[in-house]
Structure 1
Amino acid sequence: MLNGTSDAFLSVTTRAVGVGRRDRYRQVVTDLVRARTPVVMGVLNVTPDSFSDGGRYADLAAAVAHGVRLRDDGAHLVDVGGESTRPGADRVDADTEAARVLPVIRELAAAGVPTSIDTTRARVAEAALAAGADLVNDVSGGLADPAMARVVAAAGCPWVLMHWRGHAQRMAELASYVDVVGDVRAELGQRIDEALRAGVAADRIVVDPGLGFAKTAAHNWALTARLPELLDLGFPLLFGASRKSYLGRLLAGPDGRDRPTAGRAAATVATSVLAVAAGAWGVRVHDVRDTVDALAVWQASGRPRLAPSTEQRGAP
């Protein structure tokens, strides 16, 4: 048994999902992973306790309606998550997570909405792919569940490998780096190597620096400023700053209180445009329409790229 999933079950799923769906995933790679325009991933948390919108879309009808709305607002993918990964969050069991996400993914797939499954569990990812998900977004980069690489390789789907050091309850104690950008780059490189050794095709891999996951605000800003160093890994990069606490801290009021999540949309849009201008493949956001509008302006302006600072160029 691997995390409650038997070899026999994996074998059946490989035949049912992997072989039968490879052509569709190849099209997903062409349309999304190799997209020439920035990819916008819309966030759909079907949880009661996510940091920004927990509980708003726990009802199936509300979740599906919001997923369709995100697509209509311009999202290329709707990222469906059934377990909160905010700092300090308690874990839920696999059955609870699956019960939250699978009906939503089935309904959205039936409505023609491309989806990704936001999970660290191979069993949930496997079931979500069978329900119609197009991509696995794994915030643990395959570390939380050793079976994930085998599931992804068998399915042939794209896989987002995020930088991660431990589950939500341990994040703060793990936020220690010699050089956060160099360390994140090296650790992501290890996850890429492991995925390739497991048989995941190189053209199916996307990386994510994991802003806020075992990272302080200073770490997040350093990763943002030095994004090209992560792009040197040679894989598409997903950037996810949406509504995160370090933006709230930046925008704190005169009383010192962090800006609430609902007031962080403009800052999120700014980080998204800066990331894309630095070379990011895509952004993961709650406020899809504002982000899509801002990226349309960026593209109409000739898709300008950020030049390295004098510090990054090594000038005196």
Structure 2
Amino acid sequence: MTEPCYFRPIPDSGGGGRWRLAGGWVRFSRLERLARGKPPQIVDDAPEAVLAALTAPRPPILGLGMDAPRIMGILNVTPDSFSDGGRWTADSGIAHGRRLLAEGADLIDIGGESTRPGAAEIAVPDEIARVLPPIHALAAAAPLSIDTRKADVARAAVGAGAGLVNDVSGLDFDPAMAGAVARTGAAVCIMHAQGLPATMQDDPRYDDVLLDVYDALAERVARAEAAGIARARMVIDPGIGFGKTEAHNLAILRRISLYHALGLPVLLGASRKGFVGRIGGGAQADARDPGSLAVTLAATLQGVQIHRVHDVAGTRQGLALWRAIEEQGHGT
């Protein structure tokens, strides 16, 4: 049996290129053809279906066009999240959410249960009690996402005004999640994770992390479609730091444009992750914002549409400078 091939668009610098990637700001003329157990090959073409998936403009998500990078601000109303656990309660979280919007967030991701490495599961009523006040308070001000693995929490959050369900388990944790999302009509972010938060970093292993994650996301997208979720309501996330070593994370980031071949918007959540501190220096999570911005900009150059970040102001500033430099370069 012939091993399947995967095609990664190689972004062109300077704005040239035969094709526009996902209807966005990146163009490409060449691709890497990837196959398990074989070295990458640079090619000038790909099957028609692959090019169609790579070039088709992505539909808006929560009214936000996917033809420009979008900033998802993180609001954790949890006592134990790795970066800001205990910092934001329901009341102070509302003020922080408004501050993130004032700093330029396009949407806010609200979470009531930590999924950091080693985190334990909490009860559904406790999670709902944490997330509903900020959702009620912020729903009229901006698009909102609910960061949860649980169908009951998702239903309550969407009922309160959230428009996207960000499930870090990729619809694996709660068998009722896919059906619940389909019935609410919400959008969904399908993330890849290996294992549960309590143990996911113990000894993660892959045959080929880049391609294993691709195949797992493809299977989860197919399952979501079978449950009645339209592709126009889906986003994918390769799950940096979720059951992955530093080497795994870097392998994904180097070739993250591969995931555009799934035909969906791509979300990246690398902000303040441990590998950023280990490589760039930053023992404390809030000292990792410069490194996190570097990862964001590298992913932007590969066409990643949504960036989940803690430092909204810094990310907005970095993207503004990137855009100014790019536009000036195209005009010369």
- Shorter-normalised TM-score: what interval? 0.7 to 0.9
Give the structure 1 partner of residue 134 of structure 2: 104
Distance across 1 between alignment mates of 2:303 and 2:252: 13
Give secondary structure in 2 for the equivalent of 1:172: coil
Name stretches of at least 5 consecutive residues in structure 2 with no aligned partner: 1-58
For residue 42 of structure 1, report the CA deviation from its aligned partner: 0.4
The equivalent position to 1:280 in structure 2, one of 304, 327, 330, is 304
Give the structure 2 partner of residue 291 of structure 1: 315
Distance across 2 between alignment mates of 1:304 and 1:189: 38
Relative to structure 1, the CA distance from residue 266 to residue 105 in structure 2 (aligned partners, 3 Å threshold; closer, same or farther) is same
Give the structure 1 partner of residue 74 of structure 2: 43
Give the structure 2 partner of residue 95 of structure 1: 125
Give the structure 1 partner of residue 201 of structure 2: 172
The equivalent position to 2:63 in structure 1, one of 17, 25, 31, is 31
The equivalent position to 1:266 in structure 2, one of 290, 306, 318, is 290
**Do 1:277 and 1:303's aligned partners in 2 also have CA atoms closer than 8 Å?**
no
> Cα deviations across residues 156-184 of structure 1 (Å, max 9, x unaligned)?
22100000122211202461001100000
Give the structure 2 partner of residue 149 of structure 1: 178
> Cα deviations across residues 66-109 of structure 1 (Å, max 9, x unaligned)?
00010111111111000000000111110110010011100111
**Do 2:62 and 2:163's aligned partners in 1 also have CA atoms closer than 8 Å?**
no
Give secondary structure in 1 for the equivalent of 2:139: helix
For residue 304 of structure 1, report the CA deviation from its aligned partner: 10
CA RMSD of superposed structures (Å) = 1.7
| TM-score, normalisation: structure 1 | 0.82
**Do 2:62 and 2:143's aligned partners in 1 also have CA atoms closer than 8 Å?**
no
The equivalent position to 2:166 in structure 1, one of 134, 137, 141, is 137
Give the structure 2 partner of residue 231 of structure 1: 260
The equivalent position to 1:209 in structure 2, one of 238, 253, 256, is 238
> Cα deviations across residues 19-40 of structure 1 (Å, max 9, x unaligned)?
xxxxxxxx963622x4321111
The equivalent position to 1:62 in structure 2, one of 89, 92, 103, is 92
Distance across 2 between alignment mates of 1:287 and 1:196: 34
Give the structure 2 partner of residue 86 of structure 1: 116
For the pair 1:240 / 2:269, whether they are aligned, the reply is yes
**Do 1:117 and 1:136's aligned partners in 2 also have CA atoms closer than 8 Å?**
yes
**Do 2:62 and 2:187's aligned partners in 1 also have CA atoms closer than 8 Å?**
no
**Do 1:298 and 1:304's aligned partners in 2 also have CA atoms closer than 8 Å?**
no
> Cα deviations across residues 250-286 of structure 1 (Å, max 9, x unaligned)?
124xxxxx53212101001110111111010110000
Distance across 2 between alignment mates of 1:30 and 1:119: 18
Give the structure 2 partner of residue 221 of structure 1: 250
Write 1 or 2 for the structure with the bigger share of helix: 1
> Cα deviations across residues 118-153 of structure 1 (Å, max 9, x unaligned)?
000010000000000111111011000111111111
Give the structure 2 partner of residue 17 of structure 1: none
**Do 1:165 and 1:174's aligned partners in 2 also have CA atoms closer than 8 Å?**
no
Give secondary structure in 2 for the equivalent of 1:56: coil
Name stretches of at least 5 consecutive residues in structure 1 with no aligned partner: 1-26, 253-257, 306-316
Q: Report runs of 4+ in structure 1 exceeding 6 Å deviation.
A: none
Distance across 2 between alignment mates of 1:43 and 1:66: 10
Give the structure 2 partner of residue 4 of structure 1: none
